């Protein structure tokens, strides 16, 4: 057991984090080789000029800062004009209108995840998470002592939720289920019909839905993006989002926690008071960033959104084409949204690679390419490839993966 008075070290194993495993992989890179390192690991495309944010966003922030009106504290739930703007932005896609009281401004979507999980805590509570998923959920749940139960996403069905598994996993202590749509790590975009089925299942089980829509609108395949809040009259939905992905500014730390709840659970004064107190602890993003939100949401041009979608479509196509040339990995479902795809590793075709982590360590050492082992997102012997990368870098990185495979394949290659 951990030291009662000290920092808890043994009681709550905190598991794997994406950043932790990527820094381990990075550390194996041989700097002396002088080869350019290409990362398909983290989802931060802001480093590439083709993914630069819109000037509207930068100007809005600069103007807010220079106005000298936003150097003070913001209300802990967020600046009113930003809450109104986010309510309006999200309401565009809903059959009802959100109010500013439904919106709490957070330090990125990460903080919104913690807000959701912390405020759902009660003794014995458990929460249902997707596998593969986003490990911040597991990490938050471990800190907050909430039990985690996993349901599978099914690759052959476009990574849809195994709805029957949800029913089997849930009991009277289950408080919520999480869906990530558009999906990280799978690149899936759920249909209206599938989302409806999830909402109806949650209603039947009397649990709420946490909808991580940090990739909202980043859909470039056949299914349009449908926000889970559309089903807010069926089941209470907590919508989590941020500027990070659609505007490609993850460093700005501007996110939201939004209650889509026509049933009124989150209007209960006791619940509201508790939420407000939670937000008193953490504060939110810098006030001048919040102050820029109304203009960013109102004035970002359609061409900026389209440009991002076109590049993601193009890079996801490159990704799928190159993957087909690499015998030891297969992609069960072409990505239709977000910035990442899951591919299955066939170890039987490799002579000296023991698992996904070993694959990624050796690949980094020999080819200076970083890929995330599936283990980090809950699927051993899979890989997560981020395609939000400048096209020529992506081509080169996957070319190096192919060369790596040919060197490690257990059959001879003839050229
Ligand atoms: C990137 C990401 C987040 C975190 O978003 P931030 O706004 O950068 O905190 C949350 N959930 C998923 C699924 C993500 O991919």
Residue 262, pLDDT above cutoff 90: no
19, 105, 107, 109: residue to mutate for ligand 1 pocket, most atoms within 8 A of CB:
109
The band of 360, judged by pLDDT with boundaries at 50, 70 and 90, is very high
Distance 262 CA to ligand 1 centre (A): 26
Pick the atom of ligand 1 nearest to 241's CA: 7
How far does the centroid of ligand 1 lie from the alpha carbon of residue 105, in Å? 14
Total residue length of the chain = 415
Instruction: Give CA–CA dist 286/278, Å, rounded.
Output: 18
Q: What value does the mean pLDDT take over residues 251-273?
A: 92
State the chain's mean pLDDT as an integer: 94
The more confidently predicted of residues 18 and 152 is 152
Percentage of residues of the chain with pLDDT beyond 70: 96
Q: What is the spatial distance between Cα 404 and Cα 395, in angstroms, rounded to a whole number?
A: 14
- For position 247, what pLDDT does the model report? 98
- Ramachandran bin of 282, using left for φ above 0, alpha for ψ from -120 to 50, beta for the remaining angles: alpha
For 210-252, how does the pLDDT look when each residue is reduced to its tens digit (9 = 90+)? 999 999 999 999 999 999 999 999 999 999 999 999 999 999 9
Across 186-212, average pLDDT: 98
What's the pLDDT at 201? 98
Ligand 1 proximal residues by C-beta, below 6 Å: 43, 108-110, 134, 180, 184, 212, 214, 242, 244, 250, 255
* Position 193 pLDDT exceeds 50: yes
Tokens linked to 110: 């990460």
Q: Tell how strand 329-330 and strand 340-345 pair up.
A: antiparallel
Flag whether pLDDT at 33 surpasses 80.
no
**What pLDDT is stored for residue 34 in this prediction?**
77
What is the three-class DSSP state of 210? strand
Calculate how far, in angstroms, residue 311's C-alpha sits from the geometric centre of ligand 1.
20
For residue 378, the CA-to-ligand 1 centroid distance in Å is 17
Quick check: 415 pLDDT over 70?
A: no
* pLDDT band, residue 2 (cuts 50/70/90): very low
Regarding beta strands 174-180 and 208-212, do their DSSP bridges make them parallel or antiparallel, or are they unpaired?
A: parallel
Question: How far is ligand 1, taken at its centre, from the CA of residue 304, in Å?
Answer: 21
| Ligand 1 atom at minimal distance to the Cα of residue 340 | 15
- Closest-lying ligand 1 atom to the alpha carbon of residue 253: 7
Atom of ligand 1 minimally distant from the CA of 243: 7
- Calculate how far, in angstroms, residue 2's C-alpha sits from the geometric centre of ligand 1: 31
Ligand 1 test: best mutation among 129, 178, 184, 254, most atoms within 8 Å of CB?
184
Q: Distance between CA 109 and CA 126 in Å, rounded?
A: 21
Could you give the C-alpha distances from 238 to 63, 117, 130, 259, in angstroms and in order?
A: 32, 11, 16, 5
Mean pLDDT on 276-305: 96
Residue 85: partners with Cβ closer than 8 Å, 6 or more residues away: 293, 294, 297, 298
Model confidence pLDDT, tens digit, residues 119-167: 999 999 999 999 999 999 999 999 999 999 999 999 999 999 999 999 9
Res 267: pLDDT: 86
Which structure tokens are listed for 71? 């150097």
At 13, the pLDDT band (50, 70, 90 cuts) reads: low
Q: How far is the CA of 407 from the centre of ligand 1 (A)?
A: 36
Q: Please compute the mean of the pLDDT values over residues 336-354 and round it to a whole number.
A: 97
Spatial contact of 115 and 104, defined as CB atoms under 8 Å apart: yes
- Pocket probe mutation, ligand 1, options 43, 108, 140, max atoms within 8 Å of Cβ: 108
> What is the pairing mode between strands 103-107 and 254-260?
antiparallel
> Hey, which of 45, 105, 110, 342 would you mutate to test ligand 1's pocket, going by the most ligand atoms within 8 Å of its Cβ?
110
The whole-number pLDDT of residue 1 equals 43
* pLDDT value for 11: 55
pLDDT at 31: 74
Closest by CA to 366, choosing from 37, 23, 40, is 37
Q: How far is the CA of 406 from the centre of ligand 1 (A)?
A: 35
Average pLDDT over residues 341-353: 97
In angstroms, what is the span from residue 113 Cα to ligand 1's centroid?
Answer: 9
Mind listing the pLDDT tens digit for each residue in 63-96?
999 999 999 999 999 999 999 999 999 999 999 9
Q: Are strands 147-154 and 126-131 parallel, antiparallel or unpaired?
A: parallel
Tell me the CA distances in angstroms from 124 to 135, 148, 311, one per residue in order.
Answer: 21, 11, 45
pTM to 2 decimal places: 0.95
Instruction: Tell me the CA distances in angstroms from 140 to 12, 22, 115, 127, 181, one per residue in order.
Output: 11, 19, 9, 11, 19
What per-residue string of b and e applies to 219-240 under the rule 16 or more CB within 10 Å gives b?
bbbebebbbbbbbbbbbbbbbb
Hey, what are 376's tokens?
């980090």
Top mutation candidate among 244, 246, 293, 386 for ligand 1, by most atoms within 8 Å of CB: 244
Interval between CA 405 and ligand 1 midpoint (Å): 31
Report, as an integer, the average pLDDT of 308-320: 97
- The predicted-structure confidence for 35-69, as pLDDT tens digits, reads as follows 899 999 987 899 899 999 999 999 999 999 999 99
């Amino acid at each position: 057991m951990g030291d009662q008075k000290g920092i808890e070290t043994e009681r709550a194993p905190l598991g794997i984090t994406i950043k932790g495993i990527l820094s381990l992989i990075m550390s194996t890179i041989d700097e002396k080789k002088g080869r350019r390192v290409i990362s398909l690991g983290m989802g931060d495309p802001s480093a590439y000029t083709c993914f630069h944010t819109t000037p509207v966003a930068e100007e809005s922030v600069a103007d807010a800062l220079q106005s000298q009106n936003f150097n003070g504290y913001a209300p802990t739930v967020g600046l009113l004009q930003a809450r109104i703007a986010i309510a309006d932005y999200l309401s565009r896609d809903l059959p009802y209108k959100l109010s500013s009281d439904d919106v709490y401004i957070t330090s990125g979507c990460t903080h919104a995840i913690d807000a959701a999980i912390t405020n759902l805590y009660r003794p014995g509570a458990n929460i249902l998470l997707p596998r593969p998923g986003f490990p911040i959920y597991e990490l938050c749940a471990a800190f907050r002592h909430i039990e985690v139960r996993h349901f599978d996403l099914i690759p052959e069905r476009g990574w849809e939720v195994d709805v029957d598994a949800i029913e089997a996993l849930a009991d009277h202590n289950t408080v919520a289920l999480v869906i990530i749509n558009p999906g990280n790590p799978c690149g899936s975009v759920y249909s209206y019909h599938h989302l409806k089925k999830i909402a109806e299942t949650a209603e039947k089980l009397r649990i709420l839905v946490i909808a991580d829509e940090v990739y909202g609108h980043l859909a470039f395949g056949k299914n349009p993006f449908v926000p889970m809040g559309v089903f807010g009259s069926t089941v209470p939905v907590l919508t989590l989002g941020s500027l990070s992905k659609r505007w490609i500014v993850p460093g700005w730390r501007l996110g939201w926690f939004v209650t889509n709840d026509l049933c009124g659970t989150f209007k209960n004064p006791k619940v509201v008071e508790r939420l407000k107190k939670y937000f008193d602890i953490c504060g939110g993003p810098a006030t001048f960033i919040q102050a820029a939100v109304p203009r960013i949401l109102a004035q970002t041009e359609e061409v900026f959104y389209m440009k991002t979608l076109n590049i993601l479509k193009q890079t996801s196509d490159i990704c799928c084409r190159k993957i087909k040339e690499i015998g030891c990995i297969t992609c069960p479902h072409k990505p239709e949204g977000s910035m990442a795809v899951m591919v299955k590793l066939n170890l039987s075709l490799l002579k000296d690679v023991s698992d996904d982590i070993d694959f990624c360590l050796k690949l980094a050492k020999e080819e200076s390419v970083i890929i995330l082992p599936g283990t980090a997102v809950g699927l051993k012997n899979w890989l997560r490839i981020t395609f939000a990368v400048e096209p020529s870098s992506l081509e080169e990185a996957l070319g190096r993966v192919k060369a790596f495979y040919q060197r490690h394949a257990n059959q001879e290659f003839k050229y």
